[in-house]
Amino acid sequence: MELFANLAHGFVVAFSPINLLMCLIGALVGTLVGVLPGIGTIATVAMLLPITFGLPPVGALIMLAGIYYGAQYGGSTTSILVNIPGEATSVVTAIDGHQMAKQGRAGPALAIAAIGSFFAGCVATVLIAVLGAPLTKLALAFGPAEYFSLMVLGLIFAVVLAKGSVLKAIAMIVLGLLMSMVGSDIETGASRMAFNIPELADGLGFATVAMGVFGFAEIIRNLDAGAEMNRDLVQQKITGLMPTRKDLIDSTPPILRGTVLGSILGILPGGGAVIASFAAYTLEKKLAKDPKRFGRGAIEGVAAPESANNAAAQTSFIPLLTLGIPPNAVMALMVGAMTIHGIVPGPQVMQKQPDLVWGMIASMWIGNLMLIIINLPLVGIWVRLLRVPYRLMFPSIVIFCAIGIYSVNNAPVDVILAGVFGLVGYWLIKHDFEPAPLLLGMVLGPLMEENLRRALLISRGDWSVFLTRPLSAVLLAIAAFLLVLTVLPVLRAKRDEVFTESEN
Amino acid sequence: MADTMGHSATATRNTSVALGFCLLAIAPQIFEFIWSIGTIFGWGAGRGPATVVISHATALLAGAPSALLAGDTKKSSDVLLALMYSYPLFAVAILTIFMTIKSAQDYIGGIVLMALALFALWASSDLQGMRGFSFGAGTAPRMFGGLLVALSAGIALTGLMTDGPALAHYSWRGPLFVMAAILFFALAIRPLGLVVSAFVSFLIAALGSHETRWLEAVIVGACLTLGCALLFPYVLGLPMPMFPRFLVQ
Amino acid sequence: MTSIRALAGACVAAFASLCAFVAPAEAQSYPTRSITMIVPFAAGGPTDVVARIVTAHMAQTLGQSIIIENVVGAGGTTATTRAARAANDGYTLITGHMGTHAASVPLYPKLAYHPEKDFEPIALLAGTPILILARKDFPPKDLKEFVTYVKANAEKVNAAHAGVGSVSHVSCELLHSILDVKPVGVPFNGTGPAMNALVAGQVDYMCDQIVNAVPQINAGTIKAYAIATAERNPSLPNVPTTAEAGLPAFQAQAWNAMFAPKGTSPAIVASLNAAAVKALDDENVRKRLLELGSVIPGPAERTPEALAALVKAEIAKWSPVLKPAS
């Protein structure tokens, strides 16, 4: 089998001491980047790119890839511990993960996240090796119309994952969409709602808004008078570090389903990985016997999205490795790293650079192994961190977040904006609006608008393309089905309420 | 800007809620006025305070009503702000006085969200709309702005129709000092460097809690600053100034 | 939101006043400390790679390190604005390109700098040829057929580009103005997604820089009609020039050049120019630039004066093409 020969070759490359070291460095830096709030993968890879100038290309790319998927492991840590998602893909993890932490179950949550990520990473790596080339077709089958429909579906997921009022969740999504439109318009370059502030010319950054509505808002709320009681309670409640047998049994099916969903959606360039985590969460919530547990510390709500985002992080390499086209900003930087080394990736990169491609694939497996070895013992340290008195913890988080946000663009205005969003987030909490749908709307908004406009440009204004293209029609049908499924019970409940009231 | 009105309003005291909405209705104008004071000292560009007051006052009192009556004339941005943002909110404020609010949390939440949506509609009003079959820059913002107005009206209506929680309690100490710390960090990082700004911000943030013990905070703050000074520039290679500029040069 | 603007204004003012105090003349033994090179695009992009290759050699010549700072945003104009306002002591330079230092003038009416008035040209570093590319099953077989096809089907064809102000956008506008057609331009968020759409056949054609296109052309996933330079490129020997293929008017290059803020002393400009020229003569630098498909400027094109003339000519060239578009 050619495949095994290739893989064997890949492992020979990946097991060379220098590449093992690069893989370890990548995994460590990735974990660090994921754990530190605000520091994004893109910023770090961009900063480390010049260092790779002096390294052999294979080692350089193994390291950069390690940072990329390592950050997916680490991203869940702050989501669970302090309710600050470091990456767009770990926004969903924060919902149930942080609730688990509040119930004293941070250890099992972190461990399940690591185990799920490891399993998903391994499966997805095999998938790249075996089915990489045929799966490429999926990336090419997705035109603007399909992307638009996928984004609509993604936004419906955001409605489903809300635990409170559906109306409020939809309003938050729309607010997120509006916020995503700040900045330059992609088609005309016109500045929209930026009020001539240069820092807003490229729109609001994800890190800025996420740190604000999650991080700072959470801190401010915890400082409210009367909140000390709950915090102390959390610290006393911490139970076991590792998941129980029941936790493992409960998490197995979600990990499997999350891996499948993540692997498929990860191939799609753009928002694939983000949608994957939301889709996995939604699926679990819909399949669960008691959906009410979700949002209140369900371990499935951590296992599924974490597996999905890690699987997606691996399979998102497929378009890069088979087509030579970077599917997201981090991959674009990796293409830059290759270009600096004189390798311009293209469709033939697999044939022309077998060392690079198979070495990278093999290294991903090794990297995942390293990551779980790094992460499982860390769980104990993270949980111990929760015992630090909050009076010392919160100023530290403020500083970490501030430095993190500043480092993204070296822009002080971003830090101020995040502060403003902190106040906005505080207000949202007080009025029982959930921030997760808002963030998803913000992340998916540009993709949705751009693809809608692209699709309409190509179809010359004919809206029927969304229904006549089969893939797009299927996606919209699923979206409509999900929406009905979510809204119907709410309407019925409302009606019952009205009836009971009138009877009284 | 949303917090400005929340404090004094309790669930049933409608007049204070209405007054809050009135304040919200002219919040952008007030902000521009505060900002314009800076131009006296040569900070930033824009209109001076006098111009701001006069043009907004005329827009609110004269320009907008006459534009309403005259119809299709070209309206200035100030008049548009009055028409699209302030007037609807004034109307809501007046209506509020006659309403029974069952859930202040939902009602006020919905109205403030509506204010945001109206503001977004105004902010995108100068953008181009549909051009034949293709979207203009302003099409999508207006579409979603309109949608958000409708949704927030729905939320406000639920606040009138169904019972729900009253307005939650806001505290001032946490938000104030955390914001002050963030603001200080943002303004200090470039001129004063990471070491000074991180340490001072840590202490300012620590003021936000009454539990803070100072000796402990200073020690932890110093350790944290040292850690950050090693971690970010060296381990992660993120370039940022370390020490105050005047000391370096 | 307005309060943020106030703070931003206050920040800028505070920094400006700080900068004003710190401007000692130290042209004597330039350079005495490391130099910051602003690159207005993301690390790894074509401009960044050119800047890195050349500055690595220049740093050896000058005996000081050159730190690359990638500042992204607003089609490179954010970074260029910052460079224009930087101290003119020779320690802050910028590697601009055709977009930031020419096409931006007509594209952004409110541009905070002017390429001619706010910069001292140092040297032209490299030119990146532009190709006319199409999906592999696009009917026209060569450039002549392409021209007739696009003219006949201007209502139907779709041209992809990588966003307003990108090289692919402005060069396609030039092509369209020469052909006197206005096909639908489909914007993408960067070259990668645009190339993906072209490979997938969702759009018909685009104009793009040579770097990313070569592997795709060689693999047959897309096809190239012509290269918009005077000579054929060694990395694509089979692709004819626009002149050979019958459209001599379409000449476009995405050039990269080095600038200093206005008022930088002539001595510093001269020593930087000398270092850049030396880098362009280096065997290794040339080899790596050629690998990227770049065209290395000849001796006559490397002087500051030649660069000033190029900027002037390019602004004149792009202004009429891009004015009606924006």
pLDDT digits (tens, 9 = 90+) for A290-324: 888 888 888 999 999 999 988 998 888 888 888 77
Q: State the pLDDT at residue C16.
A: 44
**Nearest CA distance, C43 vs chain B (angstrom):** 14
Q: State the pLDDT at residue A227.
A: 64
A51–B237 C-beta distance less than 8 A: yes
**Nearest CA distance, A283 vs chain B (angstrom):** 26
What average pLDDT does the structure give for chain B? 82
Section C172-183 average pLDDT: 88
* B2: pLDDT strictly greater than 70: no
Measure the CA–CA gap between A215 and A213, rounded to whole angstroms. 6
Quick check: C9 contacting B, CB < 8 Å?
yes
Which residue has better confidence, A4 or B42?
A4
Measure the CA–CA gap between A190 and A179, rounded to whole angstroms. 16
**Phi, psi for residue C186 in degrees, rounded to 5:** -100, 115
Superfamily of domain C129-245: Periplasmic binding protein-like II (3.40.190.10)
* A241: pLDDT strictly greater than 50: yes
For the stretch A221-237, pLDDT in tens is: 888 866 666 665 566 66
Contact of B224 with A396, CB cutoff 8 Å: yes
In sequence order, the β-bridge partners of residue C123 are C258
Quick check: C20 contacting A, CB < 8 Å?
no
**Nearest CA distance, B116 vs chain A (angstrom):** 9
Report which of A238, A263, A250 is spatially closest to residue A303, judged by C-alpha positions.
A250
**Nearest CA distance, C110 vs chain A (angstrom):** 10
Quick one: DSSP state of residue B78?
H
**For A399, which of B140, B145, B202 is closest by C-beta distance?**
B202
With residue A168 as reference, give the H or E element that holds it: helix A166-180
**Nearest CA distance, C219 vs chain A (angstrom):** 6
**Range C239-242, long-range pairs (CB < 8 A, 24+ positions):** C239/C131, C240/C143, C242/C132, C242/C143
Which residue has better confidence, C25 or A482?
A482
> Of chain B residues 84-113, which have a CB less than 8 A from chain A?
105-106, 108-109, 112-113
**Nearest CA distance, A255 vs chain B (angstrom):** 32
Which residue in chain A has the smallest CA separation from C162?
A186
Which residue in chain A has the smallest CA separation from B158?
A167
Which residue has better confidence, C248 or B236?
C248
For the stretch C31-78, pLDDT in tens is: 777 888 888 887 777 788 888 888 888 888 888 878 787 777 667 787
For the stretch B125-159, pLDDT in tens is: 888 877 777 778 888 899 999 999 999 999 999 88
Measure the CA–CA gap between C2 and B30, rounded to whole angstroms. 10
| Number of domains chain A contains | 1
Quick check: B59 contacting A, CB < 8 Å?
no
Count of Cβ atoms closer than 10 Å to residue C142 Cβ = 13
- Decide: residue B231, CB within 10 A, 0-12 exposed, 13-18 middle, 19+ buried: middle
Quick one: DSSP state of residue A183?
E
In sequence order, the β-bridge partners of residue C206 are C133
Quick one: DSSP state of residue B82?
I
pLDDT band at C169, cuts 50/70/90?
Answer: confident
> Of chain B residues 130-169, which have a CB less than 8 A from chain A?
132-138, 140-141, 144-145, 147-148, 151-152, 154-155, 158, 162, 165, 167-169
**For C215, which of A197, A324, A342 is closest by C-beta distance?**
A324
**Phi, psi for residue A191 in degrees, rounded to 5:** -85, 125
Query: In the Cβ-directed half-sphere of A193, how many Cα atoms lie within 13 Å?
Result: 26
C219–A347 C-beta distance less than 8 A: yes
With residue A372 as reference, give the H or E element that holds it: helix A354-385
Note whether residue A220 is domain-resident: no
Contact of A20 with A14, CB cutoff 8 Å: yes
* B113: pLDDT strictly greater than 90: yes
What average pLDDT does the structure give for chain C? 81
A with B: how many residue pairs have Cβ under 8 Å apart?
227
**For B105, which of A170, A185, A432 is closest by C-beta distance?**
A432
The single-letter code of the amino acid at B95 is L
In sequence order, the β-bridge partners of residue C207 are C132
**Nearest CA distance, B11 vs chain C (angstrom):** 28
For residue B183, list chain C residues with Cβ-Cβ distance below 8 A. Answer: 7
For the stretch A387-412, pLDDT in tens is: 888 888 889 889 988 988 888 777 88
For the stretch A44-76, pLDDT in tens is: 787 777 777 778 888 888 998 898 888 888 888
Measure the CA–CA gap between A420 and B182, rounded to whole angstroms. 10
For chain B, what percent of residues have pLDDT higher than 70? 89
**Range A495-498, long-range pairs (CB < 8 A, 24+ positions):** A497/B162
* C3: pLDDT strictly greater than 80: no
A203-227 as b/e: b if 16+ CB within 10 A: bbbbbbbbbbbbbbbbbbbbbbeee
Quick check: C117 contacting B, CB < 8 Å?
no
- Tell me the three state secondary structure of residue A469: coil
Quick check: C20 contacting B, CB < 8 Å?
no
Superfamily of domain C35-127+254-322: Bordetella uptake gene, domain 1 (3.40.190.150)
Query: In the Cβ-directed half-sphere of C178, how many Cα atoms lie within 13 Å?
Result: 19
Q: State the pLDDT at residue A493.
A: 62
pLDDT band at C13, cuts 50/70/90?
Answer: very low
Section A109-135 average pLDDT: 87
Contact of C22 with C15, CB cutoff 8 Å: no
Which residue has better confidence, A198 or A305?
A305
Of A299-303, A499-503, C4-8, C109-113, least confident by mean pLDDT is A499-503
Q: Give the residue extent of every domain in chain B.
A: 2-161, 173-248
Q: State the pLDDT at residue B59.
A: 82
Section A112-121 average pLDDT: 91
Cis peptide, bond prior to residue A412, ω within 30 of zero: no
Q: State the pLDDT at residue C18.
A: 42
Q: State the pLDDT at residue C326.
A: 42
Q: State the pLDDT at residue C120.
A: 87
Section C105-116 average pLDDT: 82
Measure the CA–CA gap between C216 and C229, rounded to whole angstroms. 20
What average pLDDT does the structure give for chain A? 83
A198–C74 C-beta distance less than 8 A: yes
Token representation of residue C80:
């260029």
A201–C216 C-beta distance less than 8 A: no
Angle at A67 between CA A65 and CA A68, to 5 degrees: 65
Q: State the pLDDT at residue A228.
A: 64
> Of chain A residues 431-470, which have a CB less than 8 A from chain B?
431-433, 449, 452-453, 456-457, 460-462
> Of chain A residues 40-79, which have a CB less than 8 A from chain B?
43-44, 47-48, 51
Which residue in chain A has the smallest CA separation from C288?
A342
For residue A389, list chain B residues with Cβ-Cβ distance below 8 A. Answer: 211
Quick check: C19 contacting B, CB < 8 Å?
no
**For B128, which of A190, A402, A418 is closest by C-beta distance?**
A190
C8–B38 C-beta distance less than 8 A: no
Q: State the pLDDT at residue A425.
A: 92
Section C239-257 average pLDDT: 87
In sequence order, the β-bridge partners of residue C260 are C120
**For C44, which of A142, A198, A336 is closest by C-beta distance?**
A336
For residue A349, list chain C residues with Cβ-Cβ distance below 8 A. Answer: 215
Say which residues have a Cβ less than 8 Å from residue A11's Cβ, sequence separation at least 6.
A362
Report which of A265, A315, A275, A8 is spatially closest to residue A131, judged by C-alpha positions.
A315
A417–C4 C-beta distance less than 8 A: yes
Which residue in chain A has the smallest CA separation from B123?
A193
Q: What is the CA radius of gyration of chain A?
A: 22
A with C: how many residue pairs have Cβ under 8 Å apart?
158
Torsion, CA A253, CA A259, CA A262, CA A264, rounded to 10: -110
Q: Which domain holds residue A151?
A: 2-193+229-503
For the stretch A348-381, pLDDT in tens is: 777 778 888 888 889 989 999 999 988 888 888 8
Residue with tokens 């939440």: B109
Which residue has better confidence, C127 or B71?
C127
**Phi, psi for residue A488 in degrees, rounded to 5:** -55, -55
For the stretch B115-129, pLDDT in tens is: 999 999 998 888 887
* A385: pLDDT strictly greater than 90: no
Torsion, CA A211, CA A214, CA A217, CA A219, rounded to 10: -90
For residue B242, list chain A residues with Cβ-Cβ distance below 8 A. Answer: none
Chain C neighbours, 3+ Cβ pairs < 8 A:
A, B
**Nearest CA distance, A229 vs chain B (angstrom):** 12
Q: State the pLDDT at residue A175.
A: 94
Quick check: C244 contacting B, CB < 8 Å?
no
For residue B32, list chain C residues with Cβ-Cβ distance below 8 A. Answer: 2
pLDDT band at B160, cuts 50/70/90?
Answer: confident
**For B42, which of C2, C11, C13 is closest by C-beta distance?**
C13
Mapping DSSP onto H, E and C, the string for chain C reads CHHHHHHHHHHHHHHHHHHHHCCCCCCCCCCCCCEEEEECCCCCCHHHHHHHHHHHHHHHHHCCCEEEEECCCHHHHHHHHHHHHCCCCCCEEEEEEHHHHHHHHHHCCCCCCCCCCCEEEEEEEEEEEEEEEEECCCCCCCHHHHHHHHHHCCCCCEEEECCCCCHHHHHHHHHHHHHCCCCEEEECCCHHHHHHHHHCCCCCEEEEEHHHHHHHHHHCCEEEEEECCCCCECCECCCCEHHHHCCCCCCCEEEEEEEEECCCCHHHHHHHHHHHHHHHHCHHHHHHHHHCCCECCCHHHHCHHHHHHHHHHHHHHHHHHHCCCC
Q: State the pLDDT at residue B9.
A: 41
Chain B neighbours, 3+ Cβ pairs < 8 A:
A, C
Q: Do C35-127+254-322 and C129-245 come out as alike in CATH topology?
A: yes
Measure the CA–CA gap between B58 and A40, rounded to whole angstroms. 47
Which residue has better confidence, B112 or A132?
B112
Section A197-211 average pLDDT: 81
Q: What is the ipTM of this complex?
A: 0.88
For residue C89, list chain B residues with Cβ-Cβ distance below 8 A. Answer: none
Q: State the pLDDT at residue B7.
A: 40
